[in-house]
Amino acid sequence: MKARRLFYDRMDYPDGAFLEMVIWAVPDPVAGSRHGLKYSLYYGRDGRRLVGYDNERGKGDNRHVDGGEEAYAFTTPEALVADFLADVRKLRGEP
């Protein structure tokens, strides 16, 4: 089985920021992760990542917010997207 894209979305904001989310099904878990997904969720502006969730090979599931990085406890793709969007709303000062 090859990698297969399961989900893609992009949103451009009037202030020049944008978010992009992509989730792939992969035949084998990415090194450091225990599930069969590879993902990259990005929110940024002016070439700077402000919020990001990914599972980079060797690092496993992690979350980036305002320049910091920490482990992320992946449960489901739906929870992943909800957590990411909650961080974006918080950063943007939205309810």
Does 93 have pLDDT greater than 90? Answer: yes
Does 50 have pLDDT greater than 80? Answer: yes
> In the structure, what pLDDT confidence band is assigned to residue 56 with cuts at 50, 70 and 90?
confident
Tens of pLDDT along 6-27? 999 999 999 999 999 999 999 9
Q: Which amino acid is at 45?
A: R
Q: Is 40 helix (H, G, I), strand (E, B) or coil?
A: strand
Q: Is 19 helix (H, G, I), strand (E, B) or coil?
A: strand
Radius of gyration, alpha carbons of the chain:
13
All residues at 6 or more sequence positions from 23 whose CB lies less than 8 Å from its CB, including other chains: 5, 6, 7, 8, 37, 38, 39, 77, 80
Q: Report the pLDDT averaged over residues 50-67.
A: 93
Any idea what DSSP says for residue 81? H
Does 95 have pLDDT greater than 90? Answer: no
